[in-house]
Every structure is written in C-alpha cells, then in structure tokens.
Amino acid sequence: MRYIPHTAGDVSEMLERIGVKNLEELFVEVPDSVRLKRPLDLPEPLSETELLSELKSLAVKNATPGTHKCFLGGGAYHHFIPTVIDLLVSRGEFYTAYTPYQPEISQGTLQAIFEFQTMICQLTGMEVANASMYDGASACAEAVLMAVRLTRRKRVLLSRALNPRYREVVATYCSYLGLELVEVAVAADGRTDLGDLAAKLDATTAAVVAGYPNYFGVIEDVATLVERAHAAGAKLVTVVSEPVALGVLKSPGELGADIVAGEGQSLGLPLAYGGPYVGFFAVRQKDLRAMPGRLVGETTDLDGQRGFVLTLSTREQHIRREKATSNICSNQGLCALVTTIFMSLLGKQGLREMAEQNLAKAAYARQQLSGAKGFSLVFDGPMFNEFVVRSEAPAAEVLRRLEAEGFLAGIPLGGDYPELADCFLVCVTEQNRREEIDALVTALQGGAA
C-alpha cells in the first residue's frame, strides 16, 4: 500500500519494542464480543489507473456547463474562475495543514484569513467578519441564533422570498430552541411585502431575515427593512447568496444591516454539486462577542514583528463547551482562501466589471424573453442576474424539452412555491454568451409555437 510505509521488518521490530507478539495483541482492550469476525464487505482495492478510470466513467454521466448551456442559479452560480486560484490552493502547505492552533508555523493561513475577514468587511460594509461558516444556509441559521442571543427574543420573521433551502436550514437549527419562525409574504414586485411585515413585526421579534438579492433575483429595499426592524427593536439579517452583486449594489452595512450572512461560492469556487462552498458572516463591532466562529487577530511576536493569531476563543466550543456561541469547529478554511485569492485578483475594478456584466446579460435575457411567445416575466422589482419566468405550458415539461436540446434552462419553482407552479428561475452570468441567450430564447419558443 503506497500510503503506508511499513515493511514487514519494521512491523516486527516495532512490535518487539512495544513488547507484544503480534498486531492482534494491540487490540486486547477491544472485547471479543464486539469484534468484527469477517473482512469488511467492500470492493477490492484499485490501482491508481483503475481508480481514475472508474471515476472518469462516473464523471461523464453528469451534465455540466461544459456539456449543456447552463442557466441554473438559485444559490449556486456559474462564474469565471481564474486559473491562478487552483494552482495556489494546491500548494500542500495550504491544503494539508489544519486549523492554525500553532501560530508560529501557521502564519500563511492566519494572514490569509485576516485578509479574508478584511475583504468580507469591505464587500459587505460591515465591521467584523469571522473566518468562515459552512455555507450560506448554515451561516443564515447562525445569524438567526445570534440575533436571538442579542435581543433575548424568540420570534423570527423570514421573508418568503428568502431561498427556501435557507429557510429549511434555519428551521432545522432552531428545532428545539423554542423559537417561533414566521414567514413574511412576497409583494407583486418580488420583494418582501412591507404590509405583511408590519402586521407580523412586534416587540417580541428578534430578527427580520431577507435575501439581497432574494431567491427571485430581486433586490430588496434593505434600508426600509432596516428601518422597520429597528423600530420594533429587532435585528435585520441580510442574506447574500450571490456576492458578485455586491460589486454594484450598495453594501448591506451602508444600508444599516445588523448581521450579514452569505454564501461565498460565487467568488471562485467550482459548482461541485453543491459543495464544498463557504459561508461568510459579518457583524457590527459592538456585537463582536456574541458572534459564532473563529476569528483571526493581528498582534506582534516577541521581537515586535507583525503576526496573526486565533483570538477571542472564549466564545468558542473548545473553551466554553456548552456555553459557546456555536458548536462550529472545522469551518471551510480552504474555500475561504479560494475566495480571498479570487477577490484579490478581481479587485476593485474586476468585481464591479463582473457584476455589471451579469446585470447587463440578465437584463438582455429578460428583454429578449419579455417578447417571447408563451412566456412572461413574473416580478417587476429591480433585479441582478436572476429572474422568474412564467410559462403557458407546464414548467416541468418546458424544462425537460430544453434538456433534450442541451439546455439547463432553469429551476422549477412549483415545489417550493405552489403559487408559482408554472414558473422557473433563470440565471444569466458573465459566462453566458449572447448567442447562448439568444439560443435559449429561440428554443423556449420552439415548443410554445
């Protein structure tokens, strides 16, 4: 076995040194009654060549943006990934290290996390960001829990236009904490309904949670949500699952959000069937000590050199145990590094340019589709790179027909929104060329004619 270096000679020498006769004796503490008395029933070992060939045969069975024209979004986005990123994160010093418990030999990871925290603050307009969460949905759940800790209130309002998967994860995390989760309706423009919000918001409300842009690609009026939430003494949690939008949109921090939770996948991570991605989490300085997750801080060493350490860990499970702000231990460190490299390559101009391209392409697609026979646009609020299309023919049928023509044309919405049973969510990014968009519009109408 090429990963295990022991020769037969090594093994006998080591057994002798230990003072046992054979390997079996090492397991003397494992009672016979629980021993597995047969070999594990797993397929035979494979050589490297056989393994790669088996995996390639699995890989070719999957549709990707390389095999299909892809217009899928809904929380995971097909964006440009600079070549540099994978080469840098493939350095063994980064990806084979663990959590930087020993700062003297982990300065690479620590400085990169400090830079990640900084750029997440700059992007979101917030004051403190942590070292990462698992993904957007779990970050959203942690944001709800933090708002509950800060306000000591038990009622949480979740916009119906917030990604349904995020709402499910919030519900799972809160299952047994005695919280009341209340849904706020969607208005005709695709934004959170302010009337319904007013009706449900009260002095027991801990937080109002809304997407920015929301699940329908519509840009919420965060400033007004903040104003309403604050008037009731509640926190406003802004959830960003498409952070490229922040290249052009006002930052949630600037608009007054209290907690920003988001999904970093758009910033350089491959689609990977949903993970590993990376959650980001940013708050106000005054709320720092209630925040979950790891934090890296700047300090100096004995010689006065700048260096970085994990800090404020008295909030965390390994110190605080049952009183910790969260149970999170491993986060998504390497994915945070990916987004850090992405953000440094794209920089100030690049993220704006990418965002503007998404905006323009999606606007173009909407404009082309608005005249398409058999289809209409559902919401009229301002949008970023996604939008909801209503079809005269059943949505599932339309999408299935387009698959056969080589399109992943959208995500059907009926399962999550019965009122949108004939609708699907279309995402257009800088990766979709104009010809692809034109082809989509033509293909959609092909069946409607």
Partner 1 sequence: MTILGTSGLVLNEKLLFEHSKPGRKGYSLPKLDVPAAKLPAELCREEINGFPELSEVDVVRHFTRLSTWNYGVDSGFYPLGSCTMKYNPKVNEAAARLPGLANVHPATPPHLAQGILELMYRLQVALAEVSGFAKVTLQPAAGAQGELTGMLVIRAWHEARGSKRSKVLIPDTAHGTNPATATLAGYDVVPIASQGVLTLEEVEAHMDDDVAALMVTNPNTLGLFETNIEAICKLVHERGGMVYCDGANLNALMGIARPGDMGIDVMHFNLHKTFSTPHGGGGPGAGPVGVTEQLSPYLPAAGVERDGDRYRFEPEKTDSIGRLMTFHGNVGIMVRAFAYARTLGGSGLKHASQMAVLNANYVRARLEGVYDLPYKRRSLHEVIFSDKDLPGGCHTLDVAKRLIDYGYHPPTIYFPLVVKGAIMIEPTETESQDVLDEFCDAMIAIAGEARDNPDLLHQAPVRSRVRRLDETTAARKPKLRWEANP
As measured in angstroms, the least distance from the Cβ of 390 to partner 1 is 19
The single residue among 152, 178, 373, 418 that binds partner 1, judged by CB under 8 A, is: 178
Beta-carbon contacts of 274 under 8 Å, excluding residues fewer than 6 positions away, are 76
CB 22, min distance to partner 1, A: 10
Q: Scanning residues 406 to 445, which ones bind partner 1 (CB under 8 A)? A: 408, 411, 430, 433-434, 437
Among 242, 316, 386, 422, binds partner 1 (CB under 8 A): 316
Q: For partner 1, which is the closer residue by CB, 344 or 376?
A: 344
Question: Nearer Cβ to partner 1, position 201 or 424?
Answer: 424
The C-alpha atoms of residue 352 and residue 330 are separated, in whole angstroms, by 32
**Total count of residues recorded for the chain:** 449
Distance linking the first and last C-alpha atoms of the chain: 62
DSSP 8-state code for residue 210:
E
Of 1 and 449, which has the nearer Cβ to partner 1?
1
In the region spanning residues 372 to 401, those forming contacts with partner 1, defined by CB under 8 A, are: 382, 399
Pairing of strands 411-412, 423-427: antiparallel
Positions 223 through 282 that interact with partner 1 (CB under 8 A)? 241, 246-251, 254, 263, 270-278
Q: What number of chain residues touch partner 1 (CB under 8 A)?
A: 200
326 interacts with partner 1 by CB under 8 A: yes
* Of residues 78-137, those binding partner 1 (CB under 8 A): 78, 80, 82, 84, 86, 88, 90-109, 111-112, 114-115, 117-119, 121-123, 127-129, 131-132, 134-137
The reply on whether position 180 binds partner 1 by CB under 8 A is: no
**Is the Cβ–Cβ distance between 121 and 282 less than 8 Å?**
yes
Question: By the 8 A CB rule, do 429 and 358 touch?
Answer: yes
Radius of gyration of the chain (CA): 25
* CA neighbor of 308 nearest in space, from 95, 120, 117: 117
329 binds partner 1 (CB under 8 A): yes
72 binds partner 1, rule: CB under 8 A: yes
Specify whether the CB–CB gap between 208 and 221 falls below 8 A.
Answer: no
Closer CB to partner 1, 203 or 285, in the complex:
285
Pick one of 21, 231, 286, 311: the residue that binds partner 1 (CB under 8 A).
Answer: 311
Q: How far is CA 443 from CA 74, 361, 383, 408, 425, in A?
A: 22, 18, 24, 12, 16
Least separation in angstroms between residue 366's CB and partner 1 is 9
Among 149, 154, 287, 350, binds partner 1 (CB under 8 A): 350
Q: Whole-number minimum distance, CB 444 to partner 1, in Å?
A: 17
Q: Out of 151, 192, 205, 357, which residue is the one contacting partner 1 (CB under 8 A)?
A: 357
Binding of partner 1 by 144 (CB under 8 A): no
Piece of the chain touching partner 1 by CB under 8 A; list 149-157, 191-199, 226-234, 351-359: 351-359
What is the distance between the alpha carbons of residues 311 and 370, in angstroms, rounded to a whole number? 53
CB 79, min distance to partner 1, A: 10
Amino acid at 96: T
Q: Which residues of 439-449 are buried (b: 16+ CB within 10 A; e: fewer)?
A: bbbebbeeeee
The region of 149-157, 186-194, 226-234, 296-304 touching partner 1 under the rule CB under 8 A is 296-304
Minimum Å distance from CB 256 to partner 1? Answer: 14
Report d(CA 259, CA 249) in Å as an integer. Answer: 17
Distance (Å, rounded) from C-alpha 134 to C-alpha 166? 12
Q: Which are the contacts of 154, defined by CB distance < 8 A and separation ≥ 6?
A: 148, 178, 179, 180, 204, 206
16 Cβ contact partners less than 8 Å away, ≥ 6 residues apart: none
User: Cβ closer to partner 1: 201 or 432?
Assistant: 432
Point out which span in 30-38, 146-154, 193-201, 224-232 binds partner 1 (CB under 8 A). 30-38
Please, which of residues 187-206 interact with partner 1 by CB under 8 A?
none
28: left (phi over 0), alpha (psi -120 to 50) or beta: alpha
| Rounded-to-integer distance, Cα 68 and Cα 175, Å | 39
